[in-house]
Amino acid sequence: MNSPSCVSVDRPDWDIFCAVVDNYGDIGVCWRLARQLSAELGMSVRLWVDDLASFARLCPSLAPSLDAQSIEGIEVRRWDAAALPAVIPAKRVIEAFACNLPEGFVQAMAACQPAPVWINLEYLSAEDWVGGCHGLPSPHPSLPLRKHFFFPGFRDNTGGVLGEADVSARREAQLADPAAGWAALGLTPPLAGELTVSLFCYGGERVDAWLDALLAHGEPVRVLVPDGRGAAEAAHWCGQWLAPGWQGQRGAVRVQGLPFVEQREYDRLLWLCDLNLVRGEDSFVRAQWAARPFVWHIYPQDDCAHLDKLRAFLALYAAELPAASAAALTDFWLAWNHGVGIEPAWRALLAERAALAEHARRWAAQLAQRDTLAVNLARFCETLL
């Protein structure tokens, strides 16, 4: 890529670079952030994505064959490191989750006067050390550029949590007419007295163990399983093949597969369910905005560092819960992530449903009182321009 002059009336406010990983969390976060910067803050955004086919599953209106297109006011560009077009870098450049910017683009940034604000957007964490690293600069070893690390988080000394300004209002409007919400998802409302749970996880034997626990408990339950890892285990548990529209029942447990849905429809599903089992980062945050009890399957790491992140969030989230509720929540989250001890932990969790539901509503209300990640990010960059 050549380095063009940095003087251009078409220079966007933001460039966001995103490398899609196998579980869609990175592009999920970047797509929500891009839309919020555009729709709420009125800024122009150019989003670079290296895997448009995977992105299209989250955004069905996107055409994976096109190198450049406009979706909801966002300029979406194909990120091909070998053939990146010569463009003027934006005033603010985000490399999401240490995805490493193309060298030619970095050279073009260095040619700009003033240089763009360069942000490494990190993963969300509740760990104590995050506040001390949030906002720290890192000079480039050979170019007149400085990268700043921006850490999302739950405390005032971090970058906040991603969420739209109207997410709470949209959720409450939907809950005022749940039948319409179920119809929009192509589903019937739950039966009288039936617990409705969404299941989105990384799969494994935990799925069979949990469904066995539901069966043993005997309470009517409907389990809704979006397409992805974990769906095959759920289908096979109820004697079905993994195929479009699959569903089955054992005892009082109904299990139904759902197609992979775009983000707004997934939000709707979380709002309507009584309890949500989620994974990764994007659905983890959306479950919190849903104001429903939830269970987090954190992305596993070989060195078990993910368990430190899990415990750090649990300590923060459960701090205001009654002791029995906090213990039940912690025990099931750990059982779910380890894949062992699920049945007794599930029984204990169900016994605390009312307290957990009330706490989830309070937590979501607290999130809504704080500035969101997009607002904090924009404010941080303004101090550096």
CB 286 within 8 A of CB 267: yes
CATH fold for domain 14-161+371-383: Rossmann fold (3.40.50)
What number is the average pLDDT over the span 376-383? 96
Distance CA 51, CA 183 (A): 32
* Catalytically annotated residue among 26, 75, 122, 233: 26
242-257: per-residue pLDDT in tens? 898 999 999 999 999 9
What's the angle, vertex CA 50, arms to CA 297 and CA 374, rounded to 5? Answer: 60
Same fold, 14-161+371-383 and 166-369: yes
Q: Is 274 a catalytic residue?
A: no
Mapped onto helix, strand or coil, the DSSP state of residue 145 is coil
CATH number of 166-369: 3.40.50.2000
Q: How far apart are CA 278 and CA 296, in angstroms?
A: 5
Q: Are 272 and 184 in contact (CB under 8 A)?
A: no
Q: What is the largest CA-CA distance in the chain?
A: 68
Spell out where the chain has E strands. Answer: 14-18, 45-49, 68-71, 74-78, 92-96, 117-121, 137-139, 146-150, 195-199, 221-226, 247-250, 253-258, 275-279, 294-297
pTM listed for this prediction:
0.94
Once rounded to an integer, what is the mean pLDDT over residues 322-345?
A: 97
Instruction: Please state the separation of Cα 19 from the chain's center in Å.
Output: 15
Question: Once rounded to an integer, what is the mean pLDDT over residues 102-118?
Answer: 94
Mean predicted confidence (pLDDT) in 208-223: 97
| HSE-CB of 221 using CA atoms within 13 angstroms | 24
pLDDT band per the 50, 70, 90 thresholds, residue 76: very high
All structural domains of the chain with their residue ranges: 14-161+371-383, 166-369
**Candidates 75, 95, 122, 281; catalytic one:** 281
Tens of pLDDT, residues 281-307: 999 999 999 999 999 999 887 777 789
- Tell me whether residue 281 is one of the annotated catalytic residues: yes
pLDDT digits (tens, 9 = 90+) for 302-327: 777 789 999 999 999 999 999 999 99
At 42-65, the pLDDT tens digits run 999 999 999 999 999 889 999 999
